[in-house]
Amino acid sequence: MSKVWLGVNVSDDVLALLESRVEVIGPRSDPNPPDSIEGVEDADAAIICPTFPANQATFDRLPNLRIVTRPGAGYDNVDVEAATACGICVVRTADSNTESTAVFTVAMMLNAVRRIKMGDGLLRDGRWMPLPELTAFDLNGATLGIIGLGRIGGRVAEIAHVLGMQVIAYDPYIDEGRAVSLRTRLIPDLPTLLNQADVVTLHVPANAETRGIIGAAELSQMKRGAVLVNCARGPILVEADLVDALNHGQLSAAALDVWDPEPPAADNPLLHMPNVIATPHMAAKTDEGQHRSRLSAAQQTILALKGQIPSGLVNLEVWDRRRLPSQ
């Protein structure tokens, strides 16, 4: 029977599913310390948490490991190139947190645009209307610029239409048909989108192409007084440049759920600005979203162990030369 190292918390039904198909080993919860790999040496597959060191050094110590499954859409802690070179399949659960993250993104946008956090702080300080700091704009008729029109970005577009927003998007990797189905106008380049949007929201993965995609030059191209939302990944935004843009009034507010690094330092200026909504990478953290993610991770791991290509296989090119069970 195949052995699966379980390094995340799962519900009883997910654990029962795994135990009916494989031998479950490992902590069966988010490990402490979080980068622990104790027990993985015997595993055929590992369902890992975001801090598991899925890199070349770890893979070199795990000759039996054939599958690494990372619950959630992101897999920043997995060195996919190293895994592929070792014949290890990398699997993610891309669809599991779409709804949770998209709704959270819209909530962050509403909070930032309508100055809800700022108003709360002012009232607690004993201030009352009129308060010019709380001047805002209606979302009905405003333009939302989405950078990355994948699963989450597309769902954000659908919700934004309900609010009466005009939606534009920049994504060189999708076709016109998807944009049309989402009633979204594709913009051919990033500067044009930034110049037209009242709110910009980021929905791209963190990789070499996207690192620092929003920095000083891009922030200067945004409408003065616009709002920026980042619930994707911290490294795609240059935080120091955002601080400058907020201090000089180029942007009126920002909402950030992700940071670079994570967690952010206590003296990060963004944590102390009244016009910044700051949360601890919690967009996907609903009970339903977490359950979907872990259930999908278990199901896909079982499929891969049975020799069936899982839907969330990241490195598809590895499949025909993947590690096979030792005889």
247, 306, 313: which is closest to 274 by C-alpha? 247
Are 173 and 65 contained in the same domain?
no
Are 170 and 316 contained in the same domain?
no
Residue 39's pLDDT is 84
- DSSP H or E run through 149: none
Are 47 and 157 contained in the same domain?
no
Are 86 and 108 contained in the same domain?
no
Residue 291's pLDDT is 95
CATH code, domain with 234: 3.40.50.720
Q: Residue 32 is part of which domain span?
A: 3-96+287-321
SS3 315: coil
Are 26 and 39 contained in the same domain?
yes
DSSP state of 313: B
CA dihedral 47, 209, 269, 227 (to 10 degrees): -100
Are 224 and 84 contained in the same domain?
no
The encoded tokens of residue 173 equal 């990797």
320, 323, 302, 327: which is closest to 91 by C-alpha? 302
Is 327 a domain residue? no
Measured between alpha carbons, how far is 184 from 177 in angstroms, rounded to an integer? Answer: 10
Are 156 and 271 contained in the same domain?
yes
Residue 326's pLDDT is 73
Classify the phi-psi angles of 28: left when phi > 0, otherwise alpha if psi is within -120 to 50, otherwise beta. Answer: left
Are 105 and 160 contained in the same domain?
yes
Are 267 and 218 contained in the same domain?
yes
Q: Just list the catalytic residues.
A: 233, 262, 281
Measured between alpha carbons, how far is 202 from 214 in angstroms, rounded to an integer? Answer: 9
Are 10 and 127 contained in the same domain?
no
Which residue is listed with tokens 């206590």? 266
SS3 252: strand
Give me the amino acid identity at 41: E
Are 135 and 185 contained in the same domain?
yes
Measured between alpha carbons, how far is 276 from 229 in angstroms, rounded to an integer? Answer: 10
Is 326 a domain residue? no
Number of domains in the chain: 2
Is 186 a domain residue? yes
Is 116 a domain residue? yes
- DSSP sequence for 73-122: S--TTB-HHHHHHTT-EEEE-TTTTHHHHHHHHHHHHHHHHTTHHHHHHH
pLDDT tens digits in sequence order for the chain, 327 residues long = 999 999 999 999 999 999 999 999 988 776 656 666 778 999 999 999 988 999 999 999 999 999 999 999 889 899 999 999 999 999 999 889 999 999 999 999 999 999 999 999 999 999 998 888 899 999 999 999 999 999 999 999 999 999 999 999 999 999 999 999 999 999 999 999 999 999 999 999 999 999 999 999 999 999 999 999 999 999 999 999 999 999 999 999 999 999 999 999 999 999 999 999 999 999 999 999 999 999 999 999 999 999 999 999 999 999 999 999 874
Residue 31's pLDDT is 63
Measured between alpha carbons, how far is 47 from 42 in angstroms, rounded to an integer? Answer: 14
Structure pTM? 0.90
Are 224 and 245 contained in the same domain?
yes
